[in-house]
Amino acid sequence: MTKKMVMVLLALMLLPRPVLLAAEEAAQSPPAYQSTTAYGGIYKADRLYQLNSVEQTWYASQRFRAWTSLSCSEARSVLFNQGTWVGNLTDAGACAGHAEAPSWATGNYLNYLISTRVAGPEEEE
């Protein structure tokens, strides 16, 4: 057997390992968020929630009930597609820039996060 053939055989033998590792990682990661899927949970799907960065908790926005009622089209579009958005809003719901901006999320996205959370060691049976 030539040196070149040995190298080719070694390469072929090693090829499945990365492919298997990638498949294993994909199997362990949660499915991507789908805005058109209704995720059940404790949050109201159409409500807008704001992150309290000090306490690291989400609370229902007092200024805006439904994220779909925002006049800021960027916020509505990103919230629809990704479930979360970072930005400032005026009291009327218009876009107001991104400087020191809070994080916002739809209730549906927060339900998704809860439903796809991987149990930690203390939560496993």
What's the pLDDT band for 71 if we cut at 50, 70, 90? very high
pLDDT, tens digit (0-9, with 9 covering 90-100), for 50-68:
999 899 999 999 999 999 9
107 and 52 inside one domain: yes
**104 forms bridges with which residues in the sheet?**
50, 85
7 and 61 inside one domain: no
115 and 72 inside one domain: yes
**Number of separate domains in the chain:** 2
In a domain, 82, yes or no: yes
Tokens matching residue 112 = 């998704």
Look up the domain containing 4 and give its range.
Answer: 1-30
In a domain, 88, yes or no: yes
Percentages helix, strand, coil for the chain (3-state, rounded to 5) are 40, 15, 45
- Do 40 and 114 form a contact (C-beta atoms < 8 A)? no
Is 28's pLDDT higher than 90? no
- Residue 2 CA to residue 56 CA, distance in Å, equals 61
pTM recorded for the entire structure: 0.70
Is 19's pLDDT higher than 90? no
C-alpha distance from residue 21 to each of 31, 53, 72, 98 (Å)? 17, 35, 42, 39
In a domain, 42, yes or no: no
